[in-house]
């Protein structure tokens, strides 16, 4: 396929919505009943049977509906189809640490990327029954109602969100200094433990901005489209084009974007890193 129609995007959006529901059903079934909680190669990076079973449901459905597409998924990696232009980026359980502690701030995140750009994004938290959906040039929605970013114009009146990567114990590039400084410059900085939901909350105006490092494509692809379709701005820390593979993202309502970008650069350039003993 060399060109996309709106009908095609709508069809893929519905596929993503249904896939998220199937994965979320697994998460609900295993809530509070986990038998296996393991660490991956990095300390604190958890995986459970719910991650794997949710992924299996999502991937099986995507393969059934889109057999010629490539799939990039957190737990099982890249499932490539030769010559495929489309990549599904899947996080079957974003917020695994929250999930293991029965903190209901978790989501299934699914995006369809076409030639490097997200064209479909779905973030679904089944525990509060909130379904965030966006399609390229189709707007952003929460439970079928249109959403927009906030109208906050200054950092001083804003509330931001961020997170800390699993390697934060071992690298000076750990976001602690930025977190401390921006906490003092805003009405607050929240750390929810789910980048997909952080971005969805920027899209619907609950947060005015979000930044983080150490992320993967499946963490941010769906949320990137949600923010854009809701009227916000997504970029690199330096306010350049976003590279989904860079691990870094800055997303805001647009009104505070330049100031937030400049502040992140200022902190990086002037404040010493903070490294805690593990």
pLDDT in tens, the chain (278 residues): 346 899 999 999 999 999 999 999 999 998 888 767 665 545 445 568 888 899 999 999 999 999 999 999 977 777 776 667 899 999 999 999 999 999 999 999 999 999 999 999 999 999 999 999 999 999 999 999 999 999 999 999 999 999 987 665 566 677 888 999 999 999 999 999 999 999 999 999 999 999 999 999 999 999 999 999 999 999 999 999 999 999 999 999 999 999 999 999 999 888 666 655 54
Considering the chain, tell me which residue range(s) the CATH 3.40.190.80 domain(s) occupy.
Answer: 155-270
Whole-angstrom Cα distance, residue 134 to residue 227? 9
pLDDT of residue 232: 98
Neighbours of 5 (CB within 10 A): 9
CB 181 within 8 A of CB 278: no
What fold does the segment set 155-270 form as a domain?
Answer: D-Maltodextrin-Binding Protein; domain 2 (3.40.190)
Taking the alpha carbons at both ends of the chain, their separation in whole angstroms is 50
Q: Can you read off the two tokens belonging to residue 36? A: 């296996």
Whole-angstrom Cα distance, residue 194 to residue 132? 14
CA dihedral 222, 224, 230, 236 (to 10 degrees): 180
pLDDT of residue 76: 74
Considering the chain, tell me which residue range(s) the CATH 3.30.540.10 domain(s) occupy.
Answer: 6-146
pLDDT of residue 207: 98
Q: Mention the CATH class of domain 6-146.
A: alpha beta
pLDDT of residue 2: 44
Neighbours of 9 (CB within 10 A): 18
pLDDT of residue 41: 46
């Amino acid at each position: 396929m060399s060109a996309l129609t709106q009908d095609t995007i709508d069809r893929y959006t519905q596929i993503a919505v249904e896939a998220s529901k199937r994965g979320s059903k697994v998460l609900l079934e295993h809530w509070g009943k986990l038998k296996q909680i393991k660490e991956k190669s990095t300390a604190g990076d958890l995986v459970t049977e719910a991650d794997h079973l949710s992924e299996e449901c999502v991937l099986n459905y995507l393969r059934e509906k889109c057999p010629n597409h490539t799939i990039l998924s957190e737990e099982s990696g890249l499932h490539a189809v030769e010559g495929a232009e489309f990549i599904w980026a899947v996080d079957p359980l974003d917020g695994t640490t929250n999930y293991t502690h029965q903190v209901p701030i978790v989501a299934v995140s699914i995006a369809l990327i076409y030639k490097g750009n997200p064209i479909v994004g779905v973030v679904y938290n089944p525990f509060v029954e909130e379904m965030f959906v966006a399609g390229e040039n189709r707007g952003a929605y929460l439970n079928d109602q249109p959403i927009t970013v906030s109208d906050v114009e200054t950092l001083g009146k804003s509330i931001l969100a961020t997170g800390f990567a699993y390697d934060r114990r071992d690298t000076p590039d750990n976001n602690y200094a930025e977190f401390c400084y921006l906490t003092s410059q805003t009405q607050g900085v929240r750390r929810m433990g789910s980048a997909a939901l952080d971005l969805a909350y920027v899209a619907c105006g609950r947060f005015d901005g979000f930044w983080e490092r150490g992320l993967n494509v499946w963490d941010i692809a769906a949320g990137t489209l949600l923010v854009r379709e809701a009227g916000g701005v997504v970029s690199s820390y330096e306010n350049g084009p976003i590279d989904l593979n860079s691990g870094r993202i800055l997303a805001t309502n647009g009104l505070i974007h330049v100031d937030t970008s400049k502040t992140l650069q200022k902190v990086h350039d002037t404040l010493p890193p903070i490294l805690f003993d593990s």
